[in-house]
Chain A
Amino acid sequence: DTGVSQNPRHKITKRGQNVTFRCDPISEHNRLYWYRQTLGQGPEFLTYFQNEAQLEKSRLLSDRFSAERPKGSFSTLEIQRTEQGDSAMYLCASSEDLGDYEQYFGPGTRLTVT
């Protein structure tokens, strides 16, 4: 197993455009999490899935953001009508559905909105 993967690694877009990121979790992990990390800060929780069900959303997740995990495997995070304030690293993590729920992170997608 190669761990959590994310694509693309970098995305530059113009303000107002829509972007979509993909996350492929560790294969046996039922839980999948999205975080946002801005420069000099720790990751901030956005949302998480247990299998295909989206169970919690942070207040940081405005109505321009939507996340899906249609078959309980990979997940997508879409940002509509991007704003400069959306520029950040978007991190995906996955965990097993037991124990300490240790979260393992992917390399992230760095979004730059110009």
Chain B
Amino acid sequence: GENVEQHPSTLSVQEGDSAVIKCTYSDSASNYFPWYKQELGKGPQLIIDIRSNVGEKKDQRIAVTLNKTAKHFSLHITETQPEDSAVYFCAASNRDNYGQNFVFGPGTRLSVLP
């Protein structure tokens, strides 16, 4: 089955700096990769996603890149703000298998220091 690894487990950056979180997956059949942000006491919130036929996707300060050959995908947050502090999870799934098999990484705790 699919296995998703995520690094680093914790990340501290100064406000205004960039943050990068990296994930790897094992199943070459995976073709949909969402990223979730989870704040304390809340459920995960979908922030951006990417399909395997796209190499990069941007949404304001957030971008995701995908390297299918290497089975890597990364989340990039620019101009970080204190409200970006949260736990971030990557996930992988196979849309052709009706998308139910989301496999999540273990998470990265991002702290943005003012």
Contacts and interface: CB of A to CB of B under 8 A. Distances in A.
A and B, one complex?
yes
Interface of A: 4, 6, 31, 33, 40-45, 48, 50, 55-56, 91, 93, 95, 99-108
A43 B98 contact: no
B46 interface: yes
Interface of B: 4, 6, 32, 34, 36, 41-46, 49, 51, 89, 91, 93, 95, 98-107
Listed from nearest, the 10 A-B pairs whose CB atoms lie closest are A101-B99, A42-B104, A105-B43, A107-B43, A105-B44, A48-B100, A42-B89, A108-B43, A100-B32, A43-B104
A6 B68 CA distance: 36
B104 A101 contact: no
A45 B101 contact: yes
A83 to B, nearest CB: 23
A31 B107 contact: no
Contact of B46 (A43, A56, A103): A103
A101 B93 CA distance: 10
A41 B100 contact: no
A42 B100 contact: no
Contacts of A91: 43-44
B49 A33 contact: no
